[in-house]
Amino acid sequence: MDIRLTNSKTRKKEVFEPIDPQNVRMYVCGPTVYDRAHIGNARPAIVFDLLARLLRHVYGAEHVTYVRNFTDVDDKINARASESGRSIAEITAETTQWYLDDMGAVGVLEPDEMPRATAFIAEMIAMIEELIAKGFAYAKEGHVLFRVREYAAYGRLSGRSVDDMIAGARVEVAPFKEDPMDFVLWKPSEAGVPGWDSPWGRGRPGWHIECSAMSKALLGDVFDIHGGGNDLLFPHHENEIAQSCCANGTEQMARFWLHNEMLQVEGKKMSKSLGNFFTVRDLLDGHDGMPGVPGEVIRFVMLSTHYRKPMDWTAEKAREAGATLRKWYGMVDGVAAGEADGLVAALADDLNSSGAIAELHRMAGAGDVAGLRFGMELLGFLDGGVPDWVAGPQVDLSAYVERMVAARAAAMESKDFSGVDALKQALIAAGVEVRMSKAGVELVPGPGFDAAALEKV
Output the DSSP codes for 129-156: HHHHHTTSEEEETTEEEE-GGG-TTTTT
Indicate the residue among 390, 409, 426 that finishes a domain: 390
Longest C-alpha distance within the chain, in Å? 85
Q: How confident is the model at residue 1 (pLDDT cuts 50, 70, 90)?
A: confident
Alpha-carbon distance 7 to 256, whole Å? 5
Q: How confident is the model at residue 171 (pLDDT cuts 50, 70, 90)?
A: low
**Same domain flag for 151 and 174:** yes
The mean pLDDT value for 5-12 works out to 97
Buried (b) or exposed (e) across 55-75, using 16+ Cβ within 10 A? Answer: bbbbbeeebbbbbbbbbbbbe
The mean pLDDT value for 184-191 works out to 94
The mean pLDDT value for 412-420 works out to 92
Indicate the residue among 344, 366, 390 that finishes a domain: 390
Residue 170 has pLDDT above 60, yes or no: no
Task: Look at residues 203, 183, 184 and name the one whose alpha carbon lies nearest to residue 194.
Answer: 203
Count of domains observed in the chain: 3
Task: Compute the mean pLDDT over every residue in the chain, rounded to the nearest whole number.
Answer: 93
Q: What is the pLDDT of residues 106-164, one digit of tens each?
A: 999 999 999 999 999 999 999 999 999 999 999 999 999 999 999 999 999 999 888 77
Whichever domain contains 89, its CATH number is 3.40.50.620
Residue 371 has pLDDT above 90, yes or no: yes
Alpha-carbon distance 260 to 258, whole Å? 7
Q: How confident is the model at residue 433 (pLDDT cuts 50, 70, 90)?
A: confident
**Same domain flag for 252 and 345:** no
Contact between 55 and 64 under an 8 Å Cβ cutoff? The reply is yes
Residue 2 has pLDDT above 70, yes or no: yes
**Same domain flag for 180 and 280:** no
Cα dihedral sign, 268-271-275-279: positive
Range of the domain at 427: 398-455
- Predicted pLDDT at 166: 63
The mean pLDDT value for 60-89 works out to 93
Task: For residue 284, give Cα distances in angstroms to 39, 77, 101, 164, 252.
Answer: 10, 25, 11, 43, 40
| Helix, strand, coil % in the chain, rounded to nearest 5 | 45, 20, 35
- Predicted pLDDT at 106: 98
Residue 168 has pLDDT above 80, yes or no: no
Q: What is the pLDDT of residues 277-296, one digit of tens each?
A: 889 999 999 887 778 999 99
Say which residue, 394 or 379, is predicted with more confidence. Answer: 379
The mean pLDDT value for 355-361 works out to 98
**Same domain flag for 385 and 426:** no
**Same domain flag for 94 and 170:** yes
- Predicted pLDDT at 275: 75
Entry field: residues in the chain: 457
Residue 167 has pLDDT above 60, yes or no: no
Say which residue, 163 or 406, is predicted with more confidence. Answer: 406
**Same domain flag for 302 and 341:** yes
Indicate the residue among 260, 289, 322 that finishes a domain: 260
DSSP secondary structure letter of residue 236: I
**Same domain flag for 165 and 128:** yes
Residue 402 has pLDDT above 70, yes or no: yes
CA 250 to chain centre: 29
**Same domain flag for 133 and 252:** yes
Alpha-carbon distance 452 to 432, whole Å? 12
**Same domain flag for 234 and 335:** no
Q: How confident is the model at residue 439 (pLDDT cuts 50, 70, 90)?
A: confident
The mean pLDDT value for 170-189 works out to 86
**Same domain flag for 109 and 251:** yes
Q: How confident is the model at residue 44 (pLDDT cuts 50, 70, 90)?
A: very high
State the angle between helix axes of 398-414 and 418-429 in degrees (0 to 180), rounded to the nearest 10.
Answer: 160
**CB-side neighbour CA atoms (13 Å) of 401:** 14
**Same domain flag for 232 and 293:** no
- Predicted pLDDT at 301: 98
Q: How confident is the model at residue 248 (pLDDT cuts 50, 70, 90)?
A: very high
**CB-side neighbour CA atoms (13 Å) of 111:** 25
**Same domain flag for 300 and 268:** yes
Give the lowest-confidence range in 164-178, 306-320, 362-376: 164-178
The mean pLDDT value for 212-238 works out to 97
Amino acid at 144: V
Q: The pTM is what? A: 0.88
